[in-house]
Structure 1
Amino acid sequence: MNPEQLELTIGWLYPTLMSTYGDRGNVICLQQRAQWRGIKVNVMPLDRDAPTEQFHQVDVIVGGGAQDRQQEIVMRDLRQGKAEAIAQKIEAGTPGVFTCGSPQLLGHYYEPALGQRIEGLGLLDFVSKHPGPDARRCIGNVVFEITASRLAEDLRKMSEDAPLVIGFENHGGRTYLGEVEPLGRVISGYGNNGEDGMEGAFYRNAIATYSHGPLLPKNPSIADWLIQTALAEKYQTPISLKPLNDVLAMQGREAMFKKLGVKVPAVSAQRGPKN
């Protein structure tokens, strides 16, 4: 299809309540990378003033981080029918990227350091718990290899590179997976809980991860996967994206891999997405 015939609607979950640590950069990244290809983009804030119907109109969902208090506010609002709308979208294959605090909303519950348990959507089979106000936070740069089989295969087709993700994590809660596929295997950093070596979760076309700061500008192939998948689901036809010049992003990744002592083949660190 001609890119000028394509239109992408990005659903931004609670922009004022859930955009900690620059997570709005994920929205900006998706918007810009689509527009560079001539694709028309609409950014739809899905906040407390948004009617439930708007949640059904988006093609890709972006959720960011939040403090415990903000998460409680969000969950109260979601219970007004919006939670069911998000669940229906994810089950139907709408792609999404949920970073830091927002993945905790997708699980069964989150137990904060202080206060009552916050019930989640129960869409993904995991729980999140904060070990207490005196517990050490999981903070710092993180690198992990995507092991979610279908996502890893798609990314290799798009870029021919090892699907390595680099990001930044800063979380007190620890996430423990049940019967849901991990997103990846930690190479450097803490990941879900600093114990089992797993990071994030992957379900349908939804990516849940503690990696933010923001995630997508540092990992452009994931941004392109989200765009490509969203358009393919919307128009029910295979979509091929025009390559972009990602030399600066690749050089930044290479510098961070070197700083963290992660060995990556030079060609993998420097080459951009093939699409």
Structure 2
Amino acid sequence: MNLVLYNLFPDRLNLYGDRGNVIALQKRCEWRGIHLKIVDIKSTNDMNLSSVDIIFIGGASDREQGLITKELLKIKKDFKLGVEDGISCLAICGGYQLLGNFYVTSEGTKHMGMEICDFHSSAEKDRRVGNILIETNEFGKVVGFENHSGRTYHSYKPLGNVIIGYGNNGEDGTEGLCYNNVIGTYLHGPILPKNPSLTDHIIRAAIERKYGRKELIELDDTLEYETKKHAENICLTV
């Protein structure tokens, strides 16, 4: 089996080791004999959304996010069609905010989003920083690290509910967003190496869309779950 992953603007959208998410997807495919072709996208002119299976959008500073927005708005219609067709997408922090209608910086600058989902984000002067632990229905507990001034508000299904940390906005107890095969989240860290069930969900969704239902070969995740448990304990003891 072969899959194609677009890593959007990795030279600009790579805060806090977010490229580790791409590596996690690559390795967990490789260990199963699945060839994952990774294409680093540096211009929307290089994008052919009819041939992609997974899209990764990392985090960025407000400045970088503003620059990238201009590029992504060029392909927002095709991106939306791909999402409705079931393309898998993981969007982190700034990438998560870009899925919405707009993002307002703490200085009041408004960056338009791709309008993939109907929500908005706005930044405050103070940042939400620290380890975060959430509870999800599909993946159990999920651990990560958050560092964001943005507050995101939406009515979609969240990725999970906050146990420790701030999440979407520090008010409603939710973190992230799930829509079709799209996951948006504020969790850096990167999120996927420490949460293998989430990584496998993204791979499985891409395979099912392309090839029909296929069972993934089970892997020995002893080390991954030991790491995850250690991260959980850190969250609970701080």
TM-score (norm 2): 0.95
- Higher percent of residues as strand: 2
Residue pairs, 1:11-22, within 5 angstroms: 11-22=6-17
> Which of 169, 178, 182 matches 2:146?
169
Aligned to 1:136: 126
Distance (whole Å) between structure 2 residues aligned to residue 260 and residue 75 of structure 1? 33
Report the equivalent of 2:18: 23
8 Å Cα contact 1:126/1:176 also seen in 2: yes
Instruction: Please say if 1:183 is aligned against 2:165.
Output: no
- Answer yes or no: is 1:110 the counterpart of 2:103: yes
In structure 2, distance between residues paired with 1:90 and 1:146: 22
1:116-169 per-position Cα deviation (integer Å, ceiling 9, x unaligned): 2001112212210012xxx3210111011124xxxx2xx5xxxxxxx1110000
Is residue 2:238 matched to residue 1:245?
no
Find the residue that maps to 1:171 and give its secondary structure: strand
Does structure 2 retain, via aligned residues, the 8 Å contact 1:13–1:64?
yes
2:33 match: secondary structure: coil
Task: Using the TM superposition, give the Cα deviation of residue 115 of structure 1 relative to its aligned residue in structure 2, in angstroms.
Answer: 4.7
User: 2:52 matched to which residue of 1?
Assistant: 58
2:20 and 2:64 map into 1 onto residues whose CA distance is 19
Distance 2:236 2:25 in 1: 29
Structure 2 gaps, min length 5:
none
Shift of 1:79: 2.2
Aligned residue pair count: 237
Q: Are 2:76 and 2:115, in contact at CA under 8 Å, matched by a contact in 1?
A: no
1:220-245 deviations in Å (ceiling 9; x for gaps): 1111111111011011x211111111
**Residues 61 and 97 in structure 1, CA contact (< 8 A), matched pair in contact too:** yes
Deviation, structure 1 residue 90: 0.9
Pair 1:227 & 2:203 matched: yes
Query: How far is the alpha carbon of 1:42 from its aligned partner?
Result: 0.4
Q: What stretches of structure 1 move > 4 A for 4+ residues in a row?
A: none
> Do 2:73 and 2:113's aligned partners in 1 also have CA atoms closer than 8 Å?
no
Instruction: For 1:58 and 1:50, locate their aligned partners in 2 and report how far apart those are by CA, in whole Å.
Output: 14
Name 2:31's counterpart in structure 1: 36
Q: Where does structure 1 lack aligned partners over 5 or more consecutive residues?
A: 1-5, 156-162, 263-275
In structure 1, give the amino acid aligned to 2:115.
G
Name 2:93's counterpart in structure 1. Answer: 100
Measure how far apart 1:261 and its partner are: 2.2
Tell me whether 1:89 sits opposite 2:66 in the alignment: no
Give 3-state SS (helix, strand or coil) of 1:18's partner. coil
Identity of aligned residues (%): 40
Change over 3 Å in CA distance of 1:228–1:106 after alignment to 2: same
CA deviation string 1:85-138 (max 9, x = no partner) = 22111111111111111010011110001252001112212210012xxx3210
Q: Secondary structure of the residue that 2:236 maps to in structure 1?
A: coil
Q: 1:78 aligns with which of 72, 86, 90?
A: 72
TM-score (norm 1): 0.83
The secondary structure found in structure 2 opposite 1:242 is: coil
1-structure distance, mates of 2:33, 2:57: 25
Q: Aligned partners of 1:246, 1:111: CA distance in 2, in Å?
A: 40
Q: Secondary structure at the match of 1:260?
A: helix
Per the alignment, residue 273 of structure 1 pairs with none
Match of 1:127 among 109, 116, 120: 120
